[in-house]
Amino acid sequence: MREVAIIGVGLNKKWGELWDKSLRQIFVEAALAALDDAGVDKIDSMYIGSMSSGLFVGQEHIGSLLADYLGKVPLSATRVESACASGGAAVRLGFMEVASGMSDVVLVGGVEKMTDVTGSEATYALGTAADQEYEGYHGLTFPGLYALIARAHMEKYGTTREQLALVAVKNHRHGARNPVAQYPFEITVEGVLNSVLVADPLRVLDCSPITDGAAAAILCPVEMARSLGKPIVKIIGSGQATDSIALVQRKDMTWLEATYQAAKQAYQMANKGPEDIDVLEVHDCFTIAEICVLEALGIVDRGEGGRATEAGLTTLGGKIPVNPSGGLKSKGHPVGATGVAQIVEIVKQLRGEAGERQVKEARVGLTQNMGGTGGSSVVHILERED
Amino acid sequence: MPTPAKYWREIPQRYRLEAGKCQACGQIYFPPRQICALCGSREFTPTRLAEKGKLLTYTIIRVPPHQFADLAPYAVGIAELEDGVRLTAQIVDCSFEELRVGMPVKIEFRKIYEEGQAGIICYGYKFVPE
């Protein structure tokens, strides 16, 4: 296997409700930013993560559409779907293609254009990541499913409503320093606790928003990256795993086995452990998700995610900063783009280009991107080469 | 609008709670499967789910998908039945204040939602307090 570097990253300029921009426009904006950052023009192949361009904008076949609008046909281009982990899955396929020697320069991207439909249609589209016949049929929504996890976690480990709120407060504090973020402002615990109930015990400020956004990264062999004379960030570990998509089928609803398994693979490949990680971008689609993810990644002990958040472990300036970008909560969650945007943030952190939200002396970073209630999970570990 | 076939083929589970019991290791699957995830056996015996259980977790959906717009807010939960199988369903015939983890529930046959214009009325199981 060849060593793989990330030589360019980019997002479209601003995430949010971009009514004047189409799916193809936001994707090309992000892809061009990544190509410019890398200083390359020619790519050999492209993978695009997108959860549901069909339900959100009525457009499938976007691999070819986006290759065309990027001016790159007859480029090999494939759209990848693994619900909200689509972006992470695209990164992993690009990594495998470069590592295998099949291609030299691969663009991995993600895009979701979610605001062309009403809120209720978006709720339906996102709900298709759950088991439609045995969860959706009974009226469960995504906030509803994570609410079931939250209630079980509170019951089993004594996690408090305030601890859940603190995840959102922390991520908004980080996101306030990110100009791309959809909601770049701070919120308070009282604000979260008084926000509208969506699915008890989760309130609207526990939930990541509906977002239009795109992200892209350029991968190539480390040898080639060295010849470009740019700071080198390598992908040193990659893991992906599945679990039943129906929450009801899992032995322990509070435990994200797919995330645990994906992390195990990535740690092993990287020859690193949780103690070696300086900064993380994780899938905080709901506040409870970040708590469960920290446990599954081994960053904290099982059941301790809420208390660790309350103790300030995961804040910028804390022992292990989590979601310096603002996470899905404040930066926004264009589902298919999220997994790639996590890579974008970690590359900026490891290059020391994260400005006001820079984690000091970050050398090793981890991304964790999750589909559904954890039915799929992708973990990558990145390291700066000195 | 989905075709009625998409609905009809789930009727054995939704109306009659038909599950599949692995002939080799005894694991019960709902819905039934073709291969046992635990032992790899492909031989199953049809079995009916236990109709009583205890609530493991629950929520109250206040922002529903469009098919359930007229019903919200409504409670949904996961219960562990007496045969060890876990089931997801709405919880009805009780106030939201009465809901608690560990609450005994039983399964009843109810209307789930209506597809609307020219669509069918969809039925299935719900939990009620025991």
CATH of the domain at A130: 3.40.47.10
> For residue B28, what are the domain limits?
1-48
Do A165 and A306 have their domain in common?
yes
Same domain, A99 and A141: no
Q: What is the CATH number of the domain that holds B70?
A: 2.40.50.840
**Rounded mean pLDDT, A186-208:** 98
Burial string for A115-153 (b: 16+ CB within 10 Å, else e) reads bebeebebbbbbbbbbbebbbbbbbbbbbbbbbbbbbbb
% chain A with pLDDT above 90:
97
- Which residues of chain A have a CB within 8 Å of the CB of B101? 151-152, 155
Chain B residues at the A interface, defined by Cβ less than 8 Å, are: 10, 14, 31, 56-69, 71, 74, 76-78, 86-90, 96, 101, 112-113, 122, 124
Q: Are residues A184 and A200 in the same domain?
A: yes
Catalytic option among A61, A84, A138, A283: A84
Answer whether residue B22 shows pLDDT above 70.
Answer: yes
**In a shared domain, residues A347 and A272:** yes
Same domain, B65 and B75: yes
Q: Compute and round to an integer the Cα radius of gyration of chain A.
A: 19
Residue A41 shares a structural domain with residue A163 = no
Indicate yes or no: CB of A136 within 8 angstroms of CB of B65. yes
A174 is catalytic: no
A127 CB neighbours in chain B (<8 A) are 65
User: Are B112 and B73 part of one and the same domain?
Assistant: yes
Please name the residues in contact with A259: beta carbons below 8 A apart, sequence gap of 6 or more.
A241, A292, A293, A296, A297, A368, A370, A374, A377, A379
pTM over 0.90: yes
Do B4 and B30 belong together in one domain? yes
The closest alpha carbon to A169, from A290, A281, A334, A350, belongs to A290
Tokens (6 digits) for A296: 């599954």
Residues B17 and B74 grouped into a single domain? no
Comparing A146-155, B32-41, B108-117, B120-129, the range with the smallest average pLDDT is B108-117
Structure tokens at A386: 């000195």
Under the banding of pLDDT at 50, 70 and 90, the label for residue A135 is very high
Predicted local confidence at residue B1, as pLDDT? 64
Q: Are residues B119 and B96 in the same domain?
A: yes
Q: Are residues B30 and B84 in the same domain?
A: no
The verdict on A97 and A147 lying in the same domain is no
Q: With contacts defined as CB-CB under 8 Å, which chain A residues touch B60?
A: 197, 199-200
What is the least distance, in Å, from the CA of A18 to any CA of chain B? Answer: 23
Query: Is A327 a residue whose pLDDT tops 70?
Result: yes
The string of pLDDT tens digits covering residues A73-131 is 999 999 999 999 999 999 999 999 999 999 999 999 999 999 999 988 898 899 999 99
> Same domain for A96 and A147?
no
Within this chain, do residues A154 and A276 fall inside the same structural domain, yes or no?
yes
pLDDT for B6 beyond 90: no
CB-CB neighbors (< 8 A) of B65 in chain A: 120, 123-124, 127, 136, 139, 141
Residue A250: partners with Cβ closer than 8 Å, 6 or more residues away? A243, A244, A257
pLDDT at position A120:
84
Question: What total number of domains does chain A contain?
Answer: 2
**Closest approach of B66 to chain A, Cα-based (Å):** 6
Mean pLDDT over A53-69 rounds to 98
Residue A228: pLDDT band (50, 70, 90) is confident
Residues in chain A with CB shorter than 8 Å from the CB of B90 are: 138-139
Mean pLDDT of A338-348: 98
Is A139 in CB contact (< 8 Å) with chain B? yes
**Amino acid, single-letter form, for residue A147:** A
Range with lowest mean pLDDT among A42-51, A207-216, A224-233: A224-233
How far apart CA B84 and CA B86 sit, in angstroms, is: 6
Same domain, B42 and B82: no
Catalytic, A172? Answer: no
A102, A132: one domain: no
Indicate if A285 and A336 belong to the same structural domain. yes
Predicted local distance difference test score (pLDDT) of residue B3: 79
The predicted pLDDT at position B66 comes to 85
Q: Give me the amino acid identity at A51.
A: M
Residues A339 and A361 in one domain: yes
Q: Are residues B30 and B57 in the same domain?
A: no
The pLDDT of residue A243: 98
Q: Which residue has the higher pLDDT, B118 or B8?
A: B8
Q: Output the six-digit token pair for A279.
A: 């900064």
Residue A337: predicted pLDDT: 98
* pLDDT averaged over every residue in chain A: 97
Indicate if ipTM > 0.85.
yes
Task: Answer yes or no: do B5 and B69 share one domain.
Answer: no
- Which residues, listed in sequence order, are joined to residue A219 by a DSSP beta bridge? A6, A106
* Mean pLDDT of the region A234-260: 97
Residues B60 and B38 in one domain: no
- Hey, are the CB atoms on B57 and A197 less than 8 Å from each other? no
Query: Is there a single domain that holds both residue B5 and residue B55?
Result: no
Asked if residue A302 and residue A327 are part of one domain, the reply reads: yes
Same domain, B42 and B91: no
Residue of A153, A172, A283, A333 marked active site? A333
Please give the residue range of the domain that contains residue A173.
Answer: 126-207+236-385
Residue A148 touches chain B, beta carbons under 8 Å: yes
Chain B residue with CA closest to A204: the answer is B63
Cross-chain Cβ contact B63/A247 below 8 Å: no
- Provide the number of structural domains found in chain B: 2
- Inform me whether the pLDDT recorded for A317 exceeds 70: yes
What is the pLDDT confidence band of residue A300, given thresholds at 50, 70 and 90? Answer: very high
Q: Is the pLDDT of residue B2 over 90?
A: no
CA pair distance A46, A288, nearest whole angstrom: 33
B78/A247 CB distance under 8 A:
yes
